[in-house]
Structure 1
Amino acid sequence: MRFDLVDLQLFVAVADSGSITHGAERANLALASASARIKGLEADLGVALVRRRRRGIELTSAGESLRDHARIIMHNVAVMQGDIAGFAQGVKASVHLLANTSGLSEHLPKALAAFLREYPDISLDVEERESGDIVGAIISGAADLGFAAEHALPEHLERFVFGEDHLMLVAPKRSEFSGRRQLDFIDVGNRDFVGLTNATALAIHIGKHAARLGIRLRIRARLRDFDAICRMVSAGVGVAVVPEAAARRCAQSMPLALLSIRDPWANRKLVICARSFKSLPKPAKLLVEHLRKAAR
């Protein structure tokens, strides 16, 4: 079997768009050329990869398998290109890490900063994602490592526990919550909230569980960091759900009441995950070992 990277890039584009026409546009190919390349792939492999429908295409089982492998290959090619280009800039390698909101804001910054100081020739590409999306990216090979809530991981992904993330409710110090230590989330479903921006992983996580309880959150303000959220709460704008580390830090300088949330989704183990730690590129392995030590 001989594979052309253009063919693989085209096939991923066709698979993602559900259309040879749209896939050709994404791959900057003429429709006739794209169609011929797909047929050529099928001929070389001896198996049908797509079923042509009146409106677009759908993948066969063989096509789904090729799409998954092609994504991994294209990711590795992109990593290779980035690493080679890095030599011209004095950087020898990079690691792609996906992290949820809590990890990115509360748990990882110190550890990652220490890693970058220790390894000046390695750069980090860190991106915020919701835990479920992180799992998909790791499985497909779109990222080297993930920092996610363990409950979102399938059994076959390798992982180790980095820390725990207890979500807490923060309320104004002088409010009906000031004498309480814990509550069920449904108890505050009718309150005004201060939250993170819609695109953040934690906002998505909280919103999903609120919806399962039949709660439509009344968001008075959306901000990008926990300190700003807590300042709004202390000023009486509403209540908020934030990680315990952020809540306790802010409570040292702001008049806040902190309450544990009894719902199971509010207590999460945070893990570093990968498809296989042994098969990672060396720079990613170095980061894994550094994070293992930081978790102790």
Structure 2
Amino acid sequence: MRMDIADLRLFLAIAEAGSITAGAAQANLALGSASERLRTIEADAGTALLNRHPRGVSLTEAGATLAHHARMILQQQAQLRGELQAFAHGARGTLHLYANTAALTNYLPARLAPWLAERPRLHVELLERTSPEVVRAIRAGQAEAGIISDAVDAAGLQQHVVAEDPLVMLLPAEHRFASLRSVAFTEVAGETFVALADGNALQTYIEDQARDIGRRLDVRIRMKTFEGVCIMVGHGIGVGIVPRTVARQHRRSTHPVAVPLADAWAQRRLCACFAEWTQLSPAMRSLLHHLGVPPQKKA
């Protein structure tokens, strides 16, 4: 059979109107064109589909069968179009977003939740990496975009600040540096540390900074969560380094003192990072726009 979607729409319009004239009008066709098309449909079907009456038409048994399947086909077409549009507008599929520890634990949950709630068929996979690893993944084409610290060299990629979240030194209340307005990492690198777990992206970043100044941190205990670090420091087990937002969240319950780190690498701003806006998927463009990245046009 050679009937197309337009043929099915015309046939349904005629069947529902009970009139070739009225059906042609609904289909925005001239009566002559509609009549000719109807003859072609019946010839293609190999049987009469309509009973002609002086004041209209009615369906034959074959015509009723065609009308039934035509409705199903048109409904499926509408559903298909809607589902494809959902992919095109970033409302369906799976989005992979790379991010450093601070972004994953403090920034993204509150920002991502309302956006994702509006897209019930979209899945998001969050991948924790250090900021340098995120940059390398984007440059290698393994990642579309990521959330990184602006302290990392991302030359050749686009960066847009989405939040400020500097690192602070977390100290027991009685620590000799607790009253300072800021402290340099070199002054505290020899202290006993409460650290995050091995493999944690932020902890790796901190220990890289220690190696850069020729030091190795004396880690007394490693915790899986920021809250665990805050509790340990509050009880005088050691010192720690956490994002400022974390220190503020837990200061009342764990009682550590947060002193700003004076080092440039600790003055972090979180940035959305990507190669080319036009190469991002619709879902990623939608998310980044939600996070505050302005849409960009082709050059």
State the TM-score, normalized to the length of structure 2: 0.65
Give secondary structure in 2 for the equivalent of 1:207: helix
Q: Please say which structure displays the higher CA radius of gyration.
A: 2
Give the aligned partner of residue 118 of structure 1. 118
Distance 2:283 2:123 in 1: 9
Distance verdict in 2 for CA 1:201–1:156, change over 3 Å: same
CA distance in 1, matches of 2:151, 2:183: 22
Q: Match of 1:145?
A: 145
Structure 1, unpaired ranges of 5+: 1-82
Aligned to 1:259: 259
Q: Would you say how many aligned residue pairs link Structure 1 and Structure 2? A: 208
Amino acid paired to 1:240? G
Residue identity opposite 2:158 in structure 1:
E
User: Does the CA-based 8 Å contact 1:98-1:146 persist in structure 2?
Assistant: yes
Deviation at 1:94, TM superposition (A): 1.3
Give the conservation status (yes or no) of the 8 Å contact 1:95–1:144: no
1:108 corresponds to:
108
- What residue number does 1:133 align with? 133
TM-score (norm 1): 0.66
Structure 2 unaligned runs (5+)?
A: 1-82, 295-299
* Alpha-carbon shift at residue 172 of structure 1 (Å): 0.9
Q: Could you say what the CA RMSD is over the residues aligned between the two structures, in angstroms?
A: 2.2
SS in 1 for 2:254: coil
**Separation of aligned partners in 2, 1:153 and 1:120:** 36
- After superposition, give the CA deviation of every residue in 1:257-295 in whole Å (9 maximum; x if it has no partner): 11111111111221111111222111111111111179x
The amino acid across from 1:176 in the alignment is R
Secondary structure of residue in 2 paired with 1:183: coil
Once the two structures are TM-superposed, the CA of residue 150 in structure 1 deviates from its matched residue by: 2.0
Aligned residue number for residue 37 of structure 2: none
CA contact (8 A) 2:160 2:293 kept: no
Q: Which residue of 2 aligns with 1:224?
A: 224
Paired residue for 1:285?
A: 285
2:98 partner letter: L
Distance 2:164 2:92 in 1: 33
**TM-aligned CA deviation for residue 252 of structure 1:** 2.3
Identity of aligned residues (%): 32
Partner Cα distance (1:150, 1:266) in 2: 10
Match of 1:268 in 2: 268
Q: Counterpart of 2:175 in 1: which secondary structure?
A: coil
Is residue 205 from structure 1 mapped to residue 185 from structure 2 by the alignment? no
SS class of match (1:278) = helix
